[in-house]
A and B are shown apart, each in its own frame.
Chain A
Amino acid sequence: MLTAKEIRETNRMIEENNLDVRTITMGISLRDCSHPDLDTFCANIYEKITHTARNLVRTGEDIEREYGVPIINKRISVTPIAIVAEACKTDNYVKIAETLDRAADAVGINFLGGFSALVEKGYTPGDRRLIESLPEALARTNKVCASVNIASVRAGINMDAVRHMGEIIKKIAERTADRDAIGCAKLVVFANAVQDNPFMAGAFHGVSEPECVINVGVSGPGVVKTALEQCRGADFGVVSETIKRTAFKITRVGQLVAQEASRRLGVQFGIVDLSLAPTPAVGDSVAHILEEMGLEKCGAPGTIAALALLNDAVKKGGVMASSYVGGLSGAFIPVSEDAGMIDAVECGALSLEKLEAMTCVCSVGLDMIAVPGDTTAATIAAIIADEAAIGVINNKTTAVRIIPVPGKAVGDHVEFGGLLGHSPILKVNSFSAVDFIARGGRIPAPIRSLTN
């Protein structure tokens, strides 16, 4: 029999520490929608998405109500559009993005990911059309998220694509300058992108995934921080055990929700993603966990060690709590979406370079980084190349979601709103990488032995 103490503990996590299920993401294959005629293709994908996901939001809300745990987002990921639209006889994919946006509105979700291309080894014509369509597509849609994979352990780093993405990010920023370059917040440039990630903006439904699948992302930085408050001054063995126990409990809720959603929707259960995903809300910050461990501010010396411990302990605790774990699974460190990260940047404790180093030991990469509007395309490309190199050499997923905000400089502030939060403009190293980026070609795949 459950005890009152256990029941109170769970409800306290939900009510006071922001425990929630961050997202139920339905992955939908669009492979059967291909058609040479653009209008027919758009009709096919609209029909497929709105039919397959017709009960997604209602089911999520039912589970939320019955169990009393908030499920913040219901989302959809689709097969990378560059692949399924390849056969379309058209020179751009903006209309496809608009169709995806309408489908997302029709089923009531808040984001749809998969306006994506995988170009780590080179482009097909479809890949090029998709990437060239990004500025207009992201300016004209609200819910469509895009991603481009430019590197992998097995292919190396496509430096032509890296250069191209630097230019495209600048164009997106200019095209959405009236909204502080919000278009850039909906684009992730990946190395080693995963096929089953439920989190936006980088979610897509990989080509080796089944017809339809349910992936769930849990959250709960506030719960981990509160647990650590109970063991101030204790050694790192105790810290690690406390995080593991907390991650186990959080993940069990994610597993329950994933199984229920899968059963009720009649859709295969894919994975639970163990990521600690912060929000701008007070008490929901990854940076504050690191500070609870004894750092004056996130970014201080010791930050990498603290983050490494956190990331590892979350995985160790979470893996046993779920039958299938996947996605990005690690601590996210988005700057504008984390109250503690924002504070740390504002007081000068946290820099772009320290964030880069942090990405070596945690999930994903440089996420939601607002930089001066005059940052050049070559510099953005070089930042992407650095981050891709970290991923490729260390056999992990890394990514860049960077926003060069037109008209803004260091000392200014940018407001994205909602879950995307707000951020001070981060300083970027002003020395040039123009000649480096101009070379193009591909950095070969790395050797996987002699690993020093």
Chain B
Amino acid sequence: MRKILQGNEAIARGAWEAGVTVGCAYPGTPSSEILAELSHYPEVYTEWSPNEKIAVEVAHGASFAGGRAIACMKHVGLNVAADPLMTISYTGVKGGFVIVVADDPGQHSSQNEQDSRHWTRFGKIPMLEPADAQECSDFTRIAFDMSERFDTPVLLRSETRVSHCDSPVDLRERKESTVPKGLDKKDVPKMVMVPMYAKVRRVLVEERIGKLAAYADGEFPYNVMEINDPSVGFIASGVTYLHTREVFPQYSFLKLGMAWPLPKNLIAEFFNKVKKVIVVEELDPFFETEIRAMGFKVRHGKDLIPAIGELTPTIIEQSLSKVVTGKRVKLAKTQASLEELPKRPPNLCAGCSHRPLFVALKRLGLFVFGDIGCYGLGVSPPLSAMHASTCMGAGVGGAYGAGKVLGKEGLGKICAVLGDSTFLHSGIGPLMDTVYNGGYSTTIILDNRITAMTGQQEHPGTGFTIKGDPADLVNYEQLAKAVGVKHVRSVDPYNIKETMEVIREEVNRDESSVIITQNSPCMLLRRDKPRERFKYPTYRIDNDTCTGCKLCLNVNCPAISWVESEGTTGSGRKRKGTSFINRDQCVGCSVCYQVCEFQSILPNEQ
């Protein structure tokens, strides 16, 4: 049977077909759909792990017990999981173990742009790079086989244009692994990585990479040479191969399905068969550097192809046409200048509980150490209420560290904000540090009851597992108290005045504190009926009294817009226009009503 699948769905399908028994992940764009999809297969135990390090460790344990296991994450997630990754390279596996890492070239939804191919050489772990959904399925299956055969974890690298592209896939039946299940105490030298054993494994790791290189050269079926016009030969992998094949179909290709180790003999053969070799790769010159180091003359690569951002067919054509065909290709001109068109940045949803919280922080004039999640949108003007953001959990440590420099001068000026899922991912450690080492920062947990930005995934604070079964849930207040925080408060962010009072008290205190938002579920979380917490269904502008002061516009609600029309209020005050509330978008959260200083926003009873 043939079905159109998204790349991520195809990875899940391939894993299921390969007999995977355990799947773990922390969600992150563009990888999130893999585990969500895998959770629908009843044969597989799946979980949203609190973070990527834990996901890899749980999957590693499953592998040691003889089950095939998969852990999935976005590129920055693998940074979190790097510690176990680098040593699992030494222990190897029992049941096949595949780690999926999905890059985000162009930073569609990420704080940085990393080329995860560097992990493969660094960790001495083989890496496969599928190009489309069919290959996502095929490469996942072969990755499990390679893992067991060579006693190694295998990295499967995807990226936005592989994970989020759909194409037809041949569906197969599930085949269970033949690895026996069970733990064996005789495996201590393989499983216990203390120096005396790890030094032995270190040698085996080098031997393994040699064996894998031979496999890449002679046996691995997805390093493929296509000799057409031999005047130009391209070396490429993944979706970049597809783009290049599309732009220059008449020339020759060496498509690498395995990013590392590289097939040296095949590369040598390719150089013999074609005249001019061009290495086309997105982001860093990974292949180019290696192939040059082998002594081959690469004619072009990063001298012409940008190393920053997404590499598209358009960019490949623009970069290479001159040296491949001798002719430049002209791009069509746009009539309207693109810069003149208003942009459409993402925004917090109408009614989102982060909006009133940020309004409160802005009014208090705090320097806000933010974090990774929807609340990152708090930085967007005109809300402009976030002043630092690095990675998951970094805001808590950042606010505490800044306080160490500012001393008493910083009291009342700093706070950290992060979401519930992010706090559980990596906020607990720095909170403990703040208490232990006498910091005074205030950590505000924006508890919207879900991992929101990545599309509504459960976590240990929601009360449900990935399969929707009820689960025990973390109590943030007890947790904060257990690490030693003496002042734990809760606020209803929709009451801006009271929220400001609580925050003002806590940030001025010369001791660490935690504030947890309540009554604040994500607007998209249907099971919590988010609209029912609001007293009125919608609000409206009183055109008679609206002075056109734009205070309500500055909360950056998608439901509120500006209507320009010179005139006067009912009482004769001059105005340049009025605000307007779109009733189809308003949910009645009352934030604009609370910020209006002229009582010009009125509730609609129905």
Report whether chain A binds chain B. Answer: no
B residues in contact (CB < 8 Å) with A: none
